[in-house]
Structure 1
Amino acid sequence: MAPMAHVELLFASQTGTAEETAWELAREGRRKGFLMEPCALDDLRLEELCKVRLAVFVVSTTGQGDPPMNMRRLWQELLCATLPATLLQGLSFTVFGLGDTRYREFNYAARKLFVRLQGLGATAFWRLGLGDDQHDFGMEQELDPWSEGMWAALAEKLPPAAESDAEVRYEVEEMEQSTNGHTPPVELPEDSFWSELLAKRSLLSAEEEDVPDVWNFRLRLPPDQHYLAGDVLVVWPEMDSVLVRRFVVDTLERSLTDCIRIRPKCSSSSSPFPSRALTLEEVFSRYVDVSAMPSRHFFHVLSQHTPDELHKKKLSEFASRTLEAKDALYEYCKRERRSAAEVMWDFWTARPPLAELLSALPLLRPRRYSIASSPKWAGPGRAVGAWSLTQRPFWMPLEVSPSRALPRMLADLWGEHGLSEDLDLCVGIVDSVTRSNRQVKGLCSNFLKNAAVGSRLRCSLERGTLQLPALEVPLIMVCPGTGLSPCRALVQARHRQVQSNPLQRPKDLMFLGFRHQRADFLYGEEWDTFEAWLSVQVAFSRDHEDKKVYVQDLIEEQGPHVRRLLAENSAAEGSAFSTRSWSWHGDAGAVIFVCGRSHPMPSQVFDAFVEVLQHGGMTAEAATQRLRLMQRTQRYICDTWG
C-alpha cells in the first residue's frame, strides 16, 4: 500500500473549537487518503514553516480581532518587516476561519493570515473559508462546502493514497485497579498552580426574576504568582461528581475505580492525558467534558455501535451533511444545548468502545475570567472574607503557626513581602432553561459556586488586553454587567496612582449598566470611594416604566464630557481628522475600554461614540475613522466575550 499523502494541518485555537475542527478535518482527510496530524501554530518555528509544501490552517479569532494565544509567537515572526517577499514561495495553502458575525472584527485572524501568507510568496490552492457560529447550522454551514472543494483541490496537488478508516485518536489500555484507595495528585503543567478559595458571596442584594445570579469569589495565589490589574485568571473546572457517577456507573456500566492508561495513537501527537494510569472517575472529572455539546462526529461514532435500527437511523441522520439533517441536529442538540451525556442517555443502545468514545468526546477546557481586583488593594471590598489568623493558609509550612493574637494588619503584610496575593473574580452563574423546559448549567461558574471555602482550584494567569495608561491619559470605561470585572481592577489601580500623585486629578468616566438598582448594582457600595477623580454613570435598564436605558444612552447624555476627554491635548473639536501617530502620553485624548458581552453592546457603544463626535462637529465618516484609528493604535479596546 502506498504511504498516505502528508499535509500539514495547523490550528490556532483559544477555547478549543478550532482544534476540534482541525481534528474533524484530520479524520476526514485520513478517510480520503491524506495523512494529517493537527498541530498548534506556535509549535512550528518560522524556519520549519518555510519547508512546508502543503498546509491547511484552521484559525479562530479572539478579543478585538486578535489571533489566539497559541498562534501569537509565529504571527509576530510572520509580521517582521524585513522578511523577503519570496520567503514562503514554495508553500501551497488554504485557511478556514472560525468567527462570529456579531463581532465587527469577524474572522480577522483568518483573513489577516491569508493575506500575509500570500504577501510572503505562498500560493492559495483553495479559497478562504469563513465560518459563522451565528448561523443556525453553526460552522458546518460554511465548513462543509469549503472542505468538499478543498479536498478536490488538494487531490489535484497531491494524489491521495488508499483510504483509511483510522478515526481513533487514542489507545486505551485496561489496567489493574489500584488497591491503596488513594487518588494520585493532579500533575500541573509548568504555567499552572493551585489557588485557595478564601471566600465567596452572592452580589445580588434582592431577588428579581429577570436578574441572573452573580457571585464574587476571592482566591489566594501561591507566593510565586503575581498579577497586574487587567490580567486574566484561567480556571480548570471539574465535572460534577453526581454526573460523573451517573455517566460512568449507570451509562457505561463501569466502576469509578477502573484504571486505564490513555496514549495518543500517533506517537508524534501530544496528549491531554497524563502518561500514568487514570481511574475512570479522574478521566471524566478532569479531562473529558460530557456536559458539553457533542460534535457531528460523535453522532457518527454512536451510529456505528448500536444494534437498534431506529437508533442507528436517527444517529446516522444527525451525522450526515444534508440540509434536513443539519436542521434536525440544530433542533435536537444546538437549540436545546444538549450535552454528550444526555445524547447517550437518549440513545441508550449505543455503546462504543472506550477508545472510540474518548476520541469523539469533547475535552474539558479551562475558562478565562478577567480578574476583578488590583494587587494589594486595601480599600472597599477587602474586608469581606478575610482569612482567619487561626486558619493556616494552604501554602504555609506546617512548622509555622499563625498567632491568634497577631493583628490583622500584620497578616496583610504577608502580601507586602511577596508571600501571597489575593484576587477577586466576578462571575455570572450560568443557569438557564431551554424552550423545552430543560435546565442547563454552566460548568465552571457552578463549579466555583459549589466549591467549598478552603478548597484548592487549578489555575493559571494570562496577561490581559487592558493595561492602565499613564495618569495624564484620560480614561473612559464602558462595562455593563459583569463586564466591570477588569475595569474594577483598573479603577483600584488608578486610585493608587491618584493617591501617589495628589497634584494630578483626572476626571475619568465610567459607564456601568445593570437591570435594577435594588437587585444587581454590583459593588454599588464601592464607587463613591473614587468620586474625587472618577465620574460613575449607571444605567438601570429595567427601572424606567416608559423605556429601557442602556450604557449607550448615557454615553450620548454625557456627550460634552466624552468629547472633552477625547479632545484633551489634541486638535480642537470639529477640526479636520488627522492620521498622525498617537502615543500613550496624552497628545490624543482619552483611551476607551469597552468590556462585556459581545452582542449587541459593543457595536451599539461604538455607534454612540460616533454620534457624540458628530454632535461636536465631525462628520459621521470622520468620527468613524477616528475611532477606527484608535482601535488600530490600541486606544479603543474591546474586551468582550460571546
Structure 2
Amino acid sequence: MASRERSVLVLYGSETGNAQDIAEELGRLCQRLHFESHVDELDATDLNALLQHQLVIFVVSTTGQGDMPHNSLVFWKKLLRKKLPPNCLSRLKYTCFGLGDSTYLKKLVRRLDQLGAATFIDPYEADEQFPDGIDGSFVRWAEDLKKHLLQHYPPPSGLEPIPDDTILPPRWSLAPALGAALGKIPELDLSSLTISQTNGTPTKPNLPPDGLLPIPAGWTATMTANERLTPQEHWQDVRLVTFDIPAPPSGERLRPVPGDCLTLYPKNFPNDVQKLIDLMEWNSIADSPLDLSTCKSLPRNLYSPTSCTLRDLLLNNIDITAIPRRSFLKYMSYFTSDEYHRERLLEFNMPEYIDEYFDYATRSRRSIIEVLDEFTSVKIPAERLLDVFPLIRGRDFSIANGGATVTQASQDNATRVDLLVAMVKYRTVLRKPREGLCSRYLASLAPGSTLRVSHKPVLSPIHGAANAQRPLIAMATGTGVAPVRCLVHERLTHPSPGPMVIFFGNRNRAADFFFEDEWRALAEDAAKRGSELLLFTAFSRDQREKIYVQDLVRRESPRLEGLIPQRAIFAVCGGSTKMADACKRAVFEPFTENGDEVVRKEMLGGITWWQEIW
C-alpha cells in the first residue's frame, strides 16, 4: 500500500456513470499535482483503506428517494456499524462532490463527522437544475479544489504541476495484449457469413453479435415477445418486451418484487464498429487475437472474455455511439496533429466555453463516432481504447408485472418478466435521426433471442402483505406506469388489499393509453377481493387546454384527504423530477390548507412517498 503522504483516494457511487466520470477526472487532476491517485467505486473499499491516504474525495450521485447508488450499499453498511469507535476515522481528511438529490450526501457527511473525520475543503452539491448544470458546477468546484491543493499541499520541491497539454500515462493499457497479437495471423470467422442474392459476394448481416456476455451474477434470458403497443403511425414506438428467465442449474429462480429492475446490456452494430476501425486506422489489428490476461489491470465493469479481438471489444463493450463527455474531447486533443482541431477540442473543456460544449455535444446529441468523423485528424492509439472510450453500461428497466403473473412462465421453474420500453428515436437540431443504443439493440432482437441480464433490487420496498393493507395513491406518466402495474399485480395477491387510486398521464388516449383493457380487469379483480381500484387519466394533447396528472391529483384532493391519515403509500413514477415535484405540491398543499397545519403535517409524516424517476 502506498504511503499516506501525497496519496489521494477518489471514491464514487454512480448509477449512470456521471459520478464515475467526474471521479476519474478528479483522479487525473490530482495526478497532475504529483499525488498518487487511486480511483474506485465505494463498495470496493474497506474502511481501513480510508486511513491509508492523505486525502479522500467522495463523488456521489443519488437515486430514487435520495437512496445511495447500488455500488455504494456495501460501503454504507460498513460505515453504519454500531461497533465502530467514535473517533476511528479521526485521521481522515475528506471532501465530497454530490450530484442530484443531496439527501445521501448529507447522510454521508454526518456519519463521517460522527466517526471523527474532518473536511479539508467544503463539500459541494451540484444539480441539473442549476443554470450551468452539473458540468458547469463541477468545473468551478474543481478549480477551487486545485487552488486549495496547490496552496496547502504543494508539489515536492522542484516539481511543477504537469501541464494540461501533456498526456498522462494510461490507467488501463491494451499494449501487452496488442503486442502479443501483432505476432499472430488473424483467423477468418466464417460462422456468420451469408451469401448475397445479388452478386454472390459474402457479406455479414448488420446485426449485433449474439454471444452471451460474462455478466457477474447474471441471468440467461430468452425473449418471448417484442410487441409494439402504440399504433404504427404514432410518433413513438413503445414496446412490451417479455423475457423468460429459467432458474440456474443449481439455485432458485428469479423472484422480483415491485420496484426491481432488469438490466439489459446492449451491443453495437457491425457497420458502426467498422466505421470507427476505418477512422482510427485499426484494420490491420482489428481481428488479431487478444489475450486480456496479459494486461496489468482492466476496468472493473469490462464484461469480456480474456480471449477476444479488438473488434469483439468494440462490438460488445465500448460505447461508441455515446454522447462524448468533456473528458473524451480532451483526450482527442492529444492525438491530433491539426492545431485548429486541437484548440477547438480544448475549448470545450474551458469553464468559459461550457455553453459551447452543451450546444455541440449534449443539445445536438452528437455521438462519439460523429465527432471522430468530424475531427478526422484524430487517431487514437488502439492500446488506449479502454483508457479513452467509455464502456457500455447496462440499461435499467422497471419490471412491469408482479405477483402471480411474474411466476407464470412457459418454462418449468422459470420467471416471466415484462418490460415497458419506449424506443428512443428522435431528431435534433442537426436534423439527423437519433436512436438510442439499447432501443436499436432491442428492436433488432427477434423472439427466441437469448441474452445475459442482471437483476437490480429495489432499495426502498413498498410491497408485501402489511403494505398491501395500506391505501395506494400512484401517479405515473408514460412508461412510468410499469412499476405501478407491477405493484398493483403484487397487491392483488394479498387478501383484502387497501384501496388503490391510480393517476396516469400521457399525450393521447388513442395512442398512449397503456394497458387500457387490463385496468378494467384489475378493477374487477380488486372488487372481488373487497377492495377498490380507481383510475384517473390525463391526456394532455386531447384538448386545447393541457391537463396533466398533477391537475387531477389536486382535483381529487378531497378523496385523498380521507386516505392520508391511513398511512397511505404514494408512488410517483415517470421521466421528470418537475412532474414529481408538482405532484407532491398537489398532495401536500390542499391537505395542509384544509385544517390544523400542525396536525396535518404530523399526518403527512406517516405516509410513504416513493419515487421512481429517470
- Report the TM-score, using the length of structure 2 for normalisation: 0.85
Aligned partner letter, 2:573: C
The SS at the match of 1:171 is coil
Q: In structure 2, how many angstroms separate the alpha carbons of the residues matched to 1:254 and 1:625?
A: 67
CA-CA distance at 1:624 after TM superposition: 5.8
Unpaired runs of 5+ residues, structure 1, are: 100-105, 383-410, 569-588
Tell whether 2:596 aligns with 1:604.
no
Q: In structure 2, how many angstroms separate the alpha carbons of the residues matched to 1:432 and 1:371?
A: 25
* Shift in CA distance, 466/32, structure 1 to aligned 2, threshold 3 Å: same
Q: In structure 1, how many angstroms separate the alpha carbons of the residues matched to 2:210 and 2:221?
A: 19
* Shift in CA distance, 236/138, structure 1 to aligned 2, threshold 3 Å: same
Report if aligned partners of 1:90, 1:122 keep a CA contact under 8 Å in 2: yes
CA-CA distance at 1:593 after TM superposition: 1.1
Q: In structure 2, how many angstroms separate the alpha carbons of the residues matched to 1:184 and 1:237?
A: 11
The SS at the match of 1:170 is coil
CA-CA distance at 1:457 after TM superposition: 2.0
Aligned to 2:105: 110
Aligned to 2:31: 30
The SS at the match of 1:477 is strand
Tell whether 2:323 aligns with 1:293.
yes
CA-CA distance at 1:509 after TM superposition: 1.0
CA offsets 1:573-601 (integer angstroms, 9 cap, x no match):
xxxxxxxxxxxxxxxx2111111113311
Report if aligned partners of 1:216, 1:424 keep a CA contact under 8 Å in 2: yes
Aligned to 1:637: 610
Report if aligned partners of 2:282, 2:382 keep a CA contact under 8 Å in 1: no
CA-CA distance at 1:138 after TM superposition: 3.8
Q: Work out which of the residue numbers 545, 550, 553 in structure 1 matches 2:551.
A: 553
Q: How does 1:50-449 map to 2 (within 5 A)?
A: 50-81=51-82, 83-99=84-100, 106-135=101-130, 137-155=132-150, 158-161=153-156, 162=159, 165-172=167-174, 173-174=177-178, 175=181, 176-179=184-187, 181=189, 186-205=212-231, 207-209=233-235, 212-224=236-248, 225-230=253-258, 231-254=260-283, 256-262=286-292, 267=297, 270=300, 272=302, 274=304, 276-319=306-349, 321-323=350-352, 325-377=353-405, 412=410, 414-415=411-412, 419-449=413-443
* Shift in CA distance, 313/258, structure 1 to aligned 2, threshold 3 Å: same
The SS at the match of 1:90 is coil
Q: In structure 2, how many angstroms separate the alpha carbons of the residues matched to 1:301 and 1:599?
A: 33
Q: In structure 2, how many angstroms separate the alpha carbons of the residues matched to 1:479 and 1:21?
A: 32
* Shift in CA distance, 251/45, structure 1 to aligned 2, threshold 3 Å: closer
Aligned to 2:535: 536
* Shift in CA distance, 372/334, structure 1 to aligned 2, threshold 3 Å: same
Which stretch has the larger CA shift, 260-269 or 445-454?
260-269
Q: Work out which of the residue numbers 484, 487, 490 in structure 2 matches 1:490.
A: 487
Q: In structure 2, how many angstroms separate the alpha carbons of the residues matched to 1:60 and 1:639?
A: 15
CA-CA distance at 1:258 after TM superposition: 3.5
Which stretch has the larger CA shift, 139-148 or 63-72?
139-148
Report if aligned partners of 2:8, 2:37 keep a CA contact under 8 Å in 1: yes
The SS at the match of 1:219 is strand
Q: In structure 2, how many angstroms separate the alpha carbons of the residues matched to 1:177 and 1:22?
A: 39
The SS at the match of 2:538 is strand
CA offsets 1:510-555 (integer angstroms, 9 cap, x no match):
111121111111011101112223111111221123x111111221
Aligned to 2:563: 565
* Shift in CA distance, 275/451, structure 1 to aligned 2, threshold 3 Å: closer
* Shift in CA distance, 438/138, structure 1 to aligned 2, threshold 3 Å: farther
Which stretch has the larger CA shift, 524-533 or 246-255?
246-255
Report if aligned partners of 2:62, 2:99 keep a CA contact under 8 Å in 1: yes
* Shift in CA distance, 269/374, structure 1 to aligned 2, threshold 3 Å: closer
Q: In structure 1, how many angstroms separate the alpha carbons of the residues matched to 2:346 and 2:497?
A: 66
Report if aligned partners of 1:375, 1:423 keep a CA contact under 8 Å in 2: no
* Shift in CA distance, 243/467, structure 1 to aligned 2, threshold 3 Å: same
CA-CA distance at 1:296 after TM superposition: 1.9
Report if aligned partners of 1:236, 1:367 keep a CA contact under 8 Å in 2: yes
Aligned to 1:507: 499
Q: In structure 2, how many angstroms separate the alpha carbons of the residues matched to 1:192 and 1:78?
A: 28
Aligned partner letter, 1:19: Q
Aligned partner letter, 2:556: Q
Report if aligned partners of 1:598, 1:640 keep a CA contact under 8 Å in 2: yes
Q: In structure 1, how many angstroms separate the alpha carbons of the residues matched to 2:436 and 2:357?
A: 21
Report if aligned partners of 2:242, 2:416 keep a CA contact under 8 Å in 1: yes
Report if aligned partners of 2:229, 2:238 keep a CA contact under 8 Å in 1: yes
Q: In structure 2, how many angstroms separate the alpha carbons of the residues matched to 1:239 and 1:207?
A: 27
Q: In structure 2, how many angstroms separate the alpha carbons of the residues matched to 1:341 and 1:167?
A: 24
Report if aligned partners of 1:229, 1:486 keep a CA contact under 8 Å in 2: no
The SS at the match of 2:173 is strand
Q: In structure 2, how many angstroms separate the alpha carbons of the residues matched to 1:339 and 1:184?
A: 24
CA offsets 1:275-330 (integer angstroms, 9 cap, x no match):
623222211122110111122222222222222232222223223x240x322222
Q: In structure 1, how many angstroms separate the alpha carbons of the residues matched to 2:16 and 2:279?
A: 30
* Shift in CA distance, 281/137, structure 1 to aligned 2, threshold 3 Å: farther
Aligned partner letter, 1:91: L
Unpaired runs of 5+ residues, structure 2, are: 192-208
Aligned partner letter, 1:73: V
- Report the TM-score, using the length of structure 1 for normalisation: 0.82
Aligned partner letter, 2:378: A
CA offsets 1:156-206 (integer angstroms, 9 cap, x no match):
554434456534122223213542736995552331122111111111146
Aligned to 1:406: none
CA-CA distance at 1:364 after TM superposition: 0.8
Alignment RMSD (CA, Å): 2.8
Report if aligned partners of 1:58, 1:96 keep a CA contact under 8 Å in 2: yes
The SS at the match of 1:526 is helix
The SS at the match of 2:577 is coil
Q: In structure 2, how many angstroms separate the alpha carbons of the residues matched to 1:190 and 1:262?
A: 17
Aligned length: 565
The SS at the match of 2:405 is coil
Q: In structure 2, how many angstroms separate the alpha carbons of the residues matched to 1:543 and 1:57?
A: 47
Aligned partner letter, 1:459: V
Percent identical among aligned pairs is: 30
Aligned partner letter, 2:222: E
Report if aligned partners of 2:478, 2:574 keep a CA contact under 8 Å in 1: yes
* Shift in CA distance, 242/452, structure 1 to aligned 2, threshold 3 Å: farther
Aligned partner letter, 2:127: D
CA-CA distance at 1:559 after TM superposition: 2.1
Report if aligned partners of 1:18, 1:59 keep a CA contact under 8 Å in 2: yes
Q: In structure 1, how many angstroms separate the alpha carbons of the residues matched to 2:451 and 2:39?
A: 30
Which stretch has the larger CA shift, 296-305 or 255-264?
255-264
